[in-house]
Amino acid sequence: MTTHLVWFRNDLRVNDNLALAAACRDPGARVIGIFIATPLQWRKHEMSPRQAEFIWQHLQSLHAALAERGIELFVRQADGFDDCVGFLQNFCETQKVDALFYNYQYELNERQRDAAVEKVLSPGVVCQGFDDSVLLPPGSVTTGNHEMYKVFTPFSRAFIKRLNEGLPECVSAPQVRKTTMPEPQKLTVFDYPCQPIDPNLFPCGEKQAINQLRLFCRQSVVDYAQQRDFPAIDGTSRLSAYLAVGVLSPRQCLHRLLKEHPQALEGGGGAVWLNELIWREFYRHLLVAYPKLCRHQPFISWTDNVTWRQDDAQFVVWQQGRTGFPIVDAAMRQLSSTGWMHNRLRMVVASFLVKDLLVDWRQGERYFMSQLIDGDLAANNGGWQWAASTGTDAAPYFRIFNPTTQGERFDGKGEFIRQWLPELSRVPDKHIHTPWVWAEKQSLTLDYPRPIVDHKQARITTLAAYEAARKS
């Protein structure tokens, strides 16, 4: 009997899992799975404790789902990616594995690890990889000169054209195997700090994720374009955490969207959310085309000449949500409390850190990864480089968000702000974005700081820093 091994990574699901489906095509094969925790590598990549907990929860869910289908899942630990290679080699020998199936990861370290695994296993073990976490493989959507697009809009047009030519198919969950497997063993907890997750925000389980996707596409996606920028409204999908660890696939998202809104590809209902899925693809394709993005390097080279301020105290104040700008502080406290932040606010707080405090965007990028339940290198790096005006298709460096204006525009009455800054609960709506002004007029003392920076002056300083870098 042949043995097929599925190496699970960020694809913790049984539905529409390309590697798992391929491993199960031979009805006579013994199919087993493995997940290898790499705490040392996770620390280097600053994976958040909440994401570690989310992975652990879904490993238990996956373990049960595979057991129902006669597939045993092993969960093991190897400190780093280098240790992974030798561990897999020994595991394949012990289990007499004939073929290894896995879904590609596109980050540079992960691709180097996979290349080393294939080299050490060849020719005794056949290795098969799949483009599972994307709708279209990196390198398949290019310009007329066969180069990766550097601007999102033409990439999006070409991407939609490809989708119209043929949609990527979803594959079914595997059937119950006829081969016998031992009684499922209790999983051993991996050695990495974990942090509790609010089950109301991120319920555990593949079925729950699929139900959330269906509900969003059926009810909320129609209003998504009008509501997505307002953090006090539950107008986003909150599916990013499930996509990040692979409890959902982008194909499932696309097909569910088109089932409810068939005209989305033509710009009809649901097109705005489809655009967000394509942004996710864009950043993934960029990682493969430009590996330097995985090395904390800016896409626009001259921006590496910006002279950043080294102010640890202000960076800590930003982390704690004590900057004196209510929309920034409310967003940072949401992140600290839940491990998630509304997308509009991610842009606002990133712009504030880089353009108001003139702190290196890489510090913010790393901090986000250490906090986010939906931490994803491609999306996080793309978002921070967009805000910092260092990336492809980024906001021009002279476009600087005014944090007070952003708050007034997207949380006019301060509903979101009051949720996270209870010390401002008695401030009237019209003063909620400048509470210190109201407090002074009322001769009151607020348990809330004054702004740590003057936005107008900070804008002038930042523009000068970028212009000096560009000229150099």
Q: 33-52 pLDDT, tens per residue?
A: 999 999 999 999 999 999 99
Element (H, E) at 54: helix 49-68
- Scanning the structure block, which residue is given the tokens 């539950």? 234
The answer to whether residues 133 and 284 touch, using CB atoms and an 8 Å cutoff, is yes
pTM (2 decimals)? 0.96
pLDDT of residue 445: 86
pLDDT of residue 181: 72
Q: In what order do the strands lie in the sheet with 126-130?
A: 72-77, 30-37, 3-8, 99-103, 126-130
pLDDT digits (tens, 9 = 90+) for 359-388: 999 999 999 999 999 999 999 999 999 999
The topology under which CATH files domain 3-131 is Rossmann fold (3.40.50)
Q: Is 275 a catalytic residue?
A: no
pLDDT of residue 183: 72
pLDDT digits (tens, 9 = 90+) for 286-297: 999 999 999 999
CATH of 301-471 given 1.10.579.10, 2.60.120.1060, 1.10.490.10, 1.10.1200.10: 1.10.579.10
pLDDT of residue 443: 86
pLDDT digits (tens, 9 = 90+) for 396-411: 888 899 999 999 999 9
- CA 77/CA 91 separation, integer angstroms: 12
Of the residues 305, 308, 436, 438, only one is catalytic, namely 308
Q: Is 438 a catalytic residue?
A: no
Q: Is 318 a catalytic residue?
A: no
The topology under which CATH files domain 133-170+204-289 is 1.25.40
- CA 44/CA 375 separation, integer angstroms: 14
pLDDT digits (tens, 9 = 90+) for 148-163: 999 999 999 999 999 9
> Residue ranges per domain, the chain?
3-131, 133-170+204-289, 301-471
Of the residues 343, 408, 436, 438, only one is catalytic, namely 343
The answer to whether residues 441 and 339 touch, using CB atoms and an 8 Å cutoff, is no
Q: Which is it for strands 3-8 and 99-103: parallel, antiparallel or unpaired?
A: parallel
Residue 186 has pLDDT above 80, yes or no: no
- Scanning the structure block, which residue is given the tokens 């940072």? 332
Q: Is 386 a catalytic residue?
A: no
Q: Is 7 a catalytic residue?
A: no
Of the residues 260, 276, 408, 415, only one is catalytic, namely 276
Of the residues 56, 384, 386, 420, only one is catalytic, namely 384
What average pLDDT does the segment 111-128 reach?
A: 96
Q: Is 279 a catalytic residue?
A: yes
Q: Give 61: exposed, middle or buried? Use CB within 10 Å, 0-12, 13-18, 19+.
A: buried
